[in-house]
A and B are shown apart, each in its own frame.
Chain A
Amino acid sequence: MGEVHVVNGNYSAAEAVKAVDVDVIAAYPITPQTPVVEYLSEFVANGELDAEFIHVESEHSAISAVVGASATGVRVFTATASQGLALMHEVLFIASGMRLPIVMTVANRALSAPINIWCDHSDTMAQRDTSWIQLYCESNQEIYDTVIQAYRIAENEDVLLPVMVCYDGFTLSHTLEPVEFEPEDEIREFVGEFEPIHCKLDPEEPMTLGPVGGPDSYMEFKKMQHEAMKEALKVIPEVNSEFEKRFGRSYGDGLIEPYNVDDADVVIIAMGSVCGTIKHVIDEHRSDVGLIKVKAFRPFPGDDIRRLIEGKDAVVTIDRAHSYGSMPPLWTDVKAHAPDVEVSSTIAGLGGRDIRVEDILEVIEVAEKGEGTDEPVWINVNV
């Protein structure tokens, strides 16, 4: 049995990183992720975590340092948000292309301009195509559990892809709530010792990493990355159910978490902490509504979502990001997998705009009226 502590989401992330016994951490502080870096450097400084903490001068260096460290065959961690994630952009492709099992947490935050430190998903959505697995969290407990599972997923022989664990800035990162921390020896047993599989930089046994892949080979490596993503669709549920057997907690099948969908006429598809508010609305106001919480955005469990929404009266997505000039990302992915289902699109909660109970009720109304199917409906906006 674990022990319950009342902590914020950043602390949940740091505690999980400590529990999996990470070897190398390199991170640069940025609001709202900063406390993760502070907690971890404290753990290392006071001896609670035996790891190398590399102090870097930017996020570009942070991700570069963990790429290098991971290539030497050790377990690594980094964390960032917003502009920091954007600065990492070019190296994210290198991490996934080299198939390094890096785990990174992102405290989701909007991007400038205008300057904004509050939550939306623009930062991680902009990294959608970097071939990183993306898992989104609804609660601080889910952050802790997901970071632990992320190492099992990333290090799986059939996957070997980096994982981004995304959680909403402030709404989770700075909110305290009870979280059950499991005994560290049990977590370490669950994740196991890290054994490098496909590469290990070692002067005794030299090998070449990051070589040129010309027109004769580049595409093959890229297709292999896609296939590894498809493998992750199988591995994520396996890790989720193994975690459940051991610790008693699970999040749907690890990819999506349906809530009241079977009994629902209207289905909302959403990601992150707003799913909690949606469940609250279903419980308190609208038992005829269901929710599909998309936990894994990459790989995208599109077929599972399609099966759940086929035949429903109304379906609506809530995006906390937008693809300007087209339709927002979650809607686009759902439609790509369910072209025959009418799906309404809403945009809410950009730049930390609170998504209130009344906003969720409005989202349901948009779906019921069949609006937003070819142009997103902006919720609680004044222009």
Chain B
Amino acid sequence: MIEVRIHGRGGQGAVTAAEILAIAAKEDGKYSQAFPFFGVERRGAPVQAFARISDHFIRVRCQIYEPDHVVVLDPSLVGTVNVVKGLKEDGVVVVNAREEEMNHLSEELGDYDVYYVDATSIALDELGVPIVNTAMVGAYVRATGTVSLDAVKDAIRMRFPGEIGEKNVSAAERAYEEVKEL
């Protein structure tokens, strides 16, 4: 079982990112769970969302304390929130950041396996708004292989039917291509 924690700010779509992962897992024939950090969401405030993905039905229902993977939707969260809290030793971090930001971010992210992509630019290009969740899911699946890109594309289309879905698919595809390992 893979446990993923997604850090974002209220309004960036962290919960939707977790949901897309869960739906994609089902498209790949796997079992999944997605849930928000149970609380009151306020725009701009740091938020978390979680996903579990497994080959078997997932019974455990407590929150995730020791994730395998962490996705960070907003680089400004690194340092503000302990985004690697509880992350397993061989854990992976996928962060939305530009190459030049990575110098100081890498200090905070320790010895983990870190991937980065400029998802904000991709989202602005493809969607016209800085909502980076779909791009970051694309980058995440490239970095970890937890689910397939095709399944992610299907899940995005289910979640956002029509033109907006296609734009988000493009964002995910681009981030999938552009993500780099630190």
Chain A positions within 8 Å of B, measured between CB atoms, are 4, 6, 117-119, 170-172, 174-178, 273-274, 276-277, 279-280, 283, 352, 354-357
Contact A176 B59 (CB under 8 A): no
Measured between beta carbons, the chain B residues less than 8 angstroms from A175 are 33-35, 61
B146 at the interface (CB under 8 A from A): no
- The reply to whether B38 and A178 form a contact with Cβ atoms under 8 Å apart is no
Q: Do B23 and A6 have beta carbons less than 8 Å apart?
A: yes
| A352 to chain B: closest residue by CB | B38
Q: Which 10 A-B pairs give the minimum distances between C-beta atoms? A: A280-B60, A175-B35, A170-B38, A276-B59, A176-B34, A6-B23, A276-B61, A280-B59, A356-B62, A279-B59
Check: B96 CB closer than 8 A to any chain A CB: no
Q: Mark B93-129, 1 if CB is under 8 A from A, else 0.
A: 0000000000000000000000000000000000000
Which residues of B (1-55) have their CB < 8 Å from a CB of A?
Answer: 18-19, 22-23, 25-26, 31-36, 38, 40
Q: Which residue of A118, A172, A277, A355 is within 8 Å of B59 (Cβ)?
A: A277
Return chain B residues, CB-CB under 8 Å to A174. 35-36, 38
Most buried by A among B19, B26, B35, B59: B59
Whether B160 is near chain A, meaning CB under 8 Å from some CB there, is: no
Query: Which residues from B are CB-within-8-Å of A356?
Result: 62-63, 65
Q: B143-173 toward A: CB 8 Å interface, digit per residue (1/0)?
A: 0000000000000000000000000000000
| Distance in Å: Cβ of B128 to nearest Cβ of chain A | 27
Q: Say whether B58 faces chain A, with CB atoms less than 8 Å apart.
A: yes
30 A-B interface contacts by CB (under 8 A): A6-B22, A6-B23, A119-B38, A170-B36, A171-B35, A171-B61, A172-B61, A174-B36, A175-B33, A175-B35, A175-B61, A176-B19, A176-B23, A176-B32, A176-B33, A176-B35, A177-B22, A177-B58, A178-B26, A273-B61, A274-B61, A276-B59, A276-B61, A277-B61, A280-B59, A280-B60, A283-B59, A354-B62, A356-B63, A357-B60
Docked CA distance A383–B180 (Å): 48
In the bound complex, what is the Cα–Cα distance between A224 and B25 (angstroms)?
50
> Is there contact, CB below 8 Å, between A277 and B35?
no
Q: B33 contacts which chain A residues (CB < 8 A)?
A: 175-177
- Given the complex of chains A and B, what is the CA–CA distance between A177 and B34 in angstroms? 7
CA distance A271 to B148 in the complex (A): 36
Q: Which residues of B are at the interface with A, using a C-beta cutoff of 8 A?
A: 18-19, 22-23, 25-26, 31-36, 38, 40, 58-63, 65
A170 to B34, CA, bound (A): 11
A356, B66: Cα distance in complex, Å: 12
Cβ-defined contact, B60 with A277, below 8 A: yes
Task: Tell me the complex Cα distance, A357–B64, Å.
Answer: 11
CB <8 Å contact, A178 and B59: no
A276 partner, pick from B35, B36, B60, beta carbons under 8 A: B60
Nearest CB in chain A to that of B34: its residue: A176
Beyond A174-B38, A177-B58, A356-B65, list 9 extra A-B contacts (CB 8 Å).
A6-B34, A118-B38, A170-B38, A171-B61, A177-B22, A177-B32, A177-B33, A277-B59, A356-B63
> Of A6, A273, A356, A357, which is in contact with the most chain B CB atoms at under 10 Å from its CB?
A6
| A274 neighbours in B (Cβ, 8 Å) | 61
Residues of A within 8 A of B65 (CB): 356
Considering only CB atoms, which chain A residue lies closest to B25 in the complex?
Answer: A6
Residues of B close to A176: CB separation below 8 A: 18-19, 22-23, 32-35
| Min C-beta distance of B182 to chain A, whole Å | 31
> Which residue of B26, B36, B59 is within 8 Å of A4 (Cβ)?
B26
Please report the C-alpha to C-alpha distance between residue A172 and residue B35 in the assembled complex, in whole angstroms: 9
Cα distance A273–B61 in the bound complex, in angstroms: 7
Whether B35 contacts A170 by the Cβ 8 Å rule is: yes
A280 to B62, CA, bound (A): 10
**Measured CA separation A4–B58 after assembly (Å):** 15
Other-chain contact of A355, B25, B35, B38, B62 (Cβ < 8 Å)? B62
Q: How far is the CB of A10 from chain B (nearest CB, A)?
A: 12
In contact, B62 and A357 (Cβ under 8 angstroms): yes
Q: Which residues of B contact A273 (CB under 8 A)?
A: 61
A79: min CB distance to chain B, Å: 19
**A262 CA to B33 CA, complexed, in Å:** 30
State the CA gap A165–B28 with chains docked (Å).
32
Q: Which residue of B lies closest to A117 (CB)?
A: B40
Closest residue of chain B to A282 (Cβ to Cβ) is: B59
Q: Which residue of B lies closest to A356 (CB)?
A: B62
Residues in B whose Cβ lies below 8 Å from that of A280: 59-60
Q: How far does the Cβ of A273 sit from chain B's closest Cβ, in whole Å?
A: 5
A171 to B60 Cα, complex, angstroms: 11
